[in-house]
Structure 1
Amino acid sequence: MDIKNIVSNGFSLNDLEKRVSSFAFFSLRTAINSYFSTYKSSKHFFGTILSDNSLSQLESDFQYGSDYIEKYAETIIHFQHFIELVCKEILRDKHELLVLKLDKKHELFYKLLFKEEVDSSDLEGINTTEFTATFERMCELIKTGKLDSKYDFFREQKNVTVIKQLNNLRNRIWHRGTFVLRFKALDLFIGRYILPLIIQIVKLPEYKKLDNLWKYTPLSYPIDPLKDIIDECTKENYDTGKVAFLKELGRAAYSNPLNPTFKFFNDEIIRRSERMVEAEINLVTYSEADKVYNCPVCGVESLISYQDSEREIEEDGSYSSYFTFCWYIKCQCCSFEISNELNNPKEYGYDLPDYWYVIEH
C-alpha cells in the first residue's frame, strides 16, 4: 500500500452524519484534561510555585519541565481549536461559502452558492479561512443581525479580547514554540477568562446535549471542578493550592474507569482496586501505606495514604522527638493523587477527611 492509499484510508464525519461539533468537542475534552493535568505535571516543584522564595525568576523558570510545557501547549492549542471550529460551524450553518477559500474552484463555488448537491470528497483539501478572518466575519454578521442573537456574547469586548489573546498564544506555540505561560498566569487566564467563555458556548441550544463528548464523569463527592475553578479564579487573590486540588479531582475524573451503565465491569474494576490496596498495604516500603479512604472522585475505598517518619537527634546522638506524618495519597482505582504541599480539603471548604496529619511519639 503506497502513501496515497494509506492517507486516504479513513472516513468522513459528514458521511456518518456527524457535524464538525464532534471534532470540536473532542478538542475541548483534550484542552480541559490537559489543563487539569498541569498540577500533576508540576508536582516536583509545586512547593516553589506556592511559596515566596529567594529564587530568581530565571531559577524559578528553570524548574518547569517538559511535562508541564507539553500540557500547557495542549491546553492552549486545543482551546483555540475548539473555539475556531465552533465559529466556523456557526458560519457554515448560514452558508458553506462563508468559511471556504474557493478562488479557483469555480464549479464547486457555483454548486455551493446555489445549494446543488456536492459530494463530500469534492470538499477534501479545500482550505478554510484563517481564524482571525473567520472570527471578524462572524462578529460582523452578528452585529448586523445576519446571525442569531444567541451568539451576541461572542461580540462582548471581554470575550473578543480573550479570543484574540488565546489565538496569539496559540500562534506563539505553533509558529515559534518559545513562549510558555507560568503556572499561576495559566490558572488566571484559563480559570478567569477562558472557562467562563467555554461555559457560554456549551450552553448554546445546539450544544447542550453534547456533554458526553467533552465532560468528565461526575465525581462521587458533589464537586464540579470547572465551576469551582471559575469561582476561585475570579477572586482578587485566588488560592493556587485550592485550584490545584480541583484540577487533580478533574484529571482523575477523566481517568475514572467506572461507568454507571456497566455494573458487571465496574464490580470487577472495584475488586481489582481493592486487591491492589490490600497488596500495597501489606508491602513494606520506605514510605509505608497507612490509612485507606473512600475516594472523592470514583467513590471506591481505594484512596491510600502514605506516611513517613522523622527523628530529631540531639548532640549526644539521642533522639529528642519522633513523629510520623502523612505526605501523599493516591487512589488505586481512578489515579487521584495529591501531596501534603496542598492543604486539607476542609481548608478549601470541602467536607472531606483530613488527609494530612502529624503524630508525635
Structure 2
Amino acid sequence: MSPVTNRQLYLHQRPVGIPTADDIRLRTVDMTTVGDGEVLIENHYLSLDPAIRDWMSGNDTYMEPIGIGECIRSTTLGKVLESRHPDFVAGDYVQGLAVNGWEEYTINPGELLSKVPNDGKYPPRYYLSIFSGAMGLTPYFGMLELGCPVAGDTVLISAAAGAVGSIAGQIAKLKGCRVVGLTGTNEKAEWLVNELGFDAAINYKECENLSEEISKVCPERLDIFFDNVGGKILDAALLNLSDHARIVFCGAISSYNASEPVPGPYNYWQILAHSATVKGLLTTNYVDQFDRANTEIREWLESGKLRFSEDIVDGIENTVEAYTRLFSGMNKGKLLVRLAAADQ
C-alpha cells in the first residue's frame, strides 16, 4: 500500500553559519503518484555529508543549489515500494547518489538510482557508508588516482577521524606510507593510532603553531596532503610540502559555514616553490569504476586490513541536530540517520 503523506526536511532559508532548525524545517506533504519510469522508495537511511551545506548556500558549485522550499538533497538508502521502471521491483534495495532527499519517501526516475545487493553478506546500509561515494569510494579514488602514494611517502590527512579521512589514511598505510592524521580531540587521535594504524596524530586544537607541530611530526615533509578542511589547516600544511608534493582537494569544511568570502590560502606560493600539484576530487568522475573499487574494498575488509566506523542517529526529527556534529567535530566515522522504516 502506497503512503499517503511524507515527512521531509526542507530548506526554509539559507543558513548563516551552521544550519539550525530555523533554516531546515520538518513538514508533512501529500505523496504524488508514481509516473512511468519512476520508482517509489521507502528511505531507511539518510546520508549526512559536509558538501550538503554548500548546496544550501546558493553558491555556484559542482551541483545546483538547493532551492528555498525544496527538500534537502542527499544520498539515501531504501527499499522499493512501487516501481514503474523495468530495472526495479518492489523489495529491491536502492541508493540514490545525491539525488534523493532527507525525507521518509522519495519518488525518482529509475535511471538516477542504483540497486544495492541484499544477499545477507553485508547490511544494505554499508552501501551508504563504506561502499558509498560518501565514504569508501571518495578516499579510494582520491588517494590512489590523485595522491598516487609510493611506499615511504609521508601523508597528512585533515579531518582524519571523519568518514573520508579515516579511510584515506588506511589506504595510504596499505601502500606503505607513513600516515599522520589531523583531528580535534585526543580521543580521536588515540583511535586513529591505536585502532586504525596511523603512525601519528595531531590534535590541532591544542597547537599554538600548527605548522611547527606538523614539521616536528613530519620532519621529512609532506609528499601527500589529503585535505578535507581547507582554511588555516591548509595553510599550515602548505608550509611543510616536499618537492613535487601532491595535494588532494577533497573538501573545505572550514569554509562551508562562512558568511563572507574566505581569504587565502595565504601560503599558496608554496605550491610554486615546491613544484607541487593540486587536484580536485569529484567521485562522480569515477562512476564507471565503482564496482572494481568496491571489490578491492571488500577484500581489505574481509582480510582485516581496513576498518571503519558508522555514527548512526535515529529519527528524521533528529537530523538537523545530528548534522551540526560534522562542523563541531563530534562525529566519528560515517554519519547516518536511521529512519523508522529501517529493518537492518
Q: TM-score range by the shorter chain?
A: under 0.3
Say which structure is richer in helix.
Answer: 1
Bigger RCO (CA 8 Å, 6+ sep): 2
Tell me which structure has the larger Cα radius of gyration. Answer: 1
Say which structure is richer in strand.
Answer: 2
Calculate the TM-score normalised by the size of structure 2: 0.22
Calculate the TM-score normalised by the size of structure 1: 0.21
